[in-house]
Copies of this chain bind each other. A is one copy, B any other.
């Protein structure tokens, strides 16, 4: 570990075709736009992307989807991206939906090194096939499997050289969960700061979960857009 700083093109080049990639962010806040843009430039294909939403059209992961780099999207809600809804409806993109908190918990469960959890969310709805239910302690419950990934792309407000991360306001969302659940964690940050400027009590993601840090020299317009 130690100095994990690396050039953006070098670290994105470690992602192969067919990789599963968790992407932080809920709408715009916390979305690692610079890492995504480099992935779009390098053009890896057959990707499985895991993100709360599909961003809006023409930005974020929507760029990867529109460019045909994504085979499957695992998500919660894509209602603010008509282009991706259209690609899904035309069966050009495989989309797997989960209730938002279940998606978060599947990722958290992987991050905790577990293999699944028991829930009753949605058991009275069409998202549950009654044949999957198990009886546990007199309740009808569903096993949701843990969701791991090969890579996570994370946007942090601050990072030190070790990869201790702090997120800004609502940009936290899925980022700390994905940083725990993925095997290789790549962080972009506009602020590479000294460790001594971070309070050890207020680290959101401890350095142990971070593999690579990219200093984003300037933030593109995407970071300034309205969210979702």
Q: Which residue numbers of A lie inside 8 Å of B, CB to CB?
A: 105, 108-109, 112, 114-120, 136-137, 139, 141, 143, 145-146, 166-169, 172, 199-202, 204
Q: What's the nearest-Cβ distance from chain B to residue A9, in Å?
A: 31
**A142: nearest chain-B partner, CB-CB:** B115
A169 touches B201 (CB 8 A): yes
Interface pairs (10), CB distance under 8 Å:
A105-B112, A108-B112, A115-B117, A115-B136, A116-B117, A136-B143, A136-B145, A168-B201, A169-B201, A201-B202
Q: Which of A167, A169, A202 has the most CB of B within 10 A?
A: A202
A10 to B: closest C-beta gap in Å: 31
Residues of B with C-beta under 8 A to A112: 105, 108, 117
* Inter-chain contacts of A120 with B (CB < 8 A): 115
CA distance A153 to B114 in the complex (A): 27
User: A115's contact among B109, B114, B118, by CB below 8 Å, is which?
Assistant: B118
Check A201 against B119 for contact (C-beta < 8 Å): no
Chain B, Cβ-Cβ closest to A166 = B201
Is the Cβ of B115 less than 8 Å from the Cβ of A139? yes
Once the chains are docked, how many angstroms separate the CA of A115 from the CA of B139? 9
Q: Do A200 and B169 form a contact, CB below 8 Å, given A105-B112, A136-B143, A143-B136?
A: yes
Q: Which residues on B sit within 8 Å (CB–CB) of A114?
A: 105, 117-119
Which residue of chain B is the closest to A108 with respect to CB atoms? B112
The 10 closest A-B pairs by CB, nearest first: A115-B118, A116-B118, A202-B202, A117-B117, A114-B117, A114-B119, A115-B141, A114-B118, A105-B112, A116-B136
